[in-house]
Amino acid sequence: MLLQENILRTNYGIAQRREDNEFYEIVKSALQEHIYSVPYNSVSQFYDAFTTTKVNPRYGMSCIWQTDDLCKKILELTDCKITYYNDMRHMAAICEKDGCQYLVDPYLLHLTPIAIDKTHSVTTCTSLSEAFPLRQDLLDENSGSFLEVRKKGSMVKLCYFRFDPKISRHKLFRYFVLDLDNPVKNFPPDKALVEKLLFHAEQNNLSIRVVSKQDRQIRELVYPLSAESIANVSRHYLFARDNAGFVYTSDNQAGFRRMSQKISYQLAVQENEIIEFILEGVGLYVMNRTLVKGGQQ
């Protein structure tokens, strides 16, 4: 497999392709600002699907809407062609202008656009981008996450790796496959399809994730969707996760409050407001999961 030439190495040890053109800088700036300003949120979609409640936009949005929102902002900044590609429950985009083609996927937290060739003239290649979270190893050396994009023919694999400080190595955290010969033809997707996908077996939690522009750390509030936790929806099951991946359950009041307060501060809402928003969203999940075709019993 050929690694694209013109490579630079970042402070976090990630090798990535060097780009030098105005379009790249526009896309890069929009991507990074979006990561900081639009949280990932898998809860809002249940309010959108099953209620008339208008969700506070500060809470962010789910992955496919993040991609769509970013691309709309890029189009406000420059005239370019944008094509969406999906892996059922996920969606990325390729932005094109003046022969330059860049893949963007804000959900995967990559810091730079990925240069890619949509044609079959380049059959096999791999590109990398540094990504959040940025972490330190056991020796306090920088060791960032990264997004690896592997192209073979028309198929593109998005492999998102996070550094795990506990074992001092990178682990595959998310994995998606796109077919460049099969772009998204209808967007937004049909409401019935969206509702069905909300209850896919891979939906094992509901969460809100923020990235701070000040300290460049990610923080999350997560509600796991286990048999026990959905049988009796309770704040007890909610936990927080910090930039290093450490978990703070409700039993650890000091750690949990510290994390939830930082998240609510970044969202500019009250701490109890965001917690109630998540718990009510879980309630919507429980209430509707057996009513939608494909819902998990």
Based on its alpha-carbon atoms, the radius of gyration of the chain, rounded to whole angstroms, reads 19
Strand ranges, E, within 180-266: 205-211, 218-224, 239-241, 247-249
Instruction: Please write the tens of the pLDDT for every residue from 156-215.
Output: 999 999 998 888 889 999 999 999 999 999 899 888 888 888 998 889 999 999 999 999
Phi, psi of 110 (to 5 degrees): -80, 145
In the three-class reduction of DSSP (H, G, I as helix; E, B as strand; rest coil), residue 160 is classed as strand
Q: What percent of the chain has pLDDT over 90?
A: 72
pLDDT for residue 121: 60
pTM of the shown model = 0.90
CB 275, CB 257: distance < 8 Å: no
Neighbours of 127 (CB within 10 A): 24
pLDDT tens sequence for the chain (297 residues) = 333 334 444 454 454 556 779 999 999 999 999 999 999 999 999 999 999 999 999 999 999 999 999 999 999 999 999 999 999 889 999 999 999 999 999 999 999 999 998 876 666 778 899 999 999 776 666 788 999 999 998 999 999 999 988 888 899 999 999 999 999 998 998 888 888 889 988 899 999 999 999 999 999 999 999 999 999 999 999 999 999 999 999 888 899 999 999 999 999 999 999 999 999 999 999 999 877 644 444
Tell me the C-alpha distance between 155 and 256, whole Å. Answer: 41
Going 170 to 242 to 66 to 102, the CA torsion angle's sign is: negative
pLDDT for residue 297: 42
Place of tokens 């990235």: 211
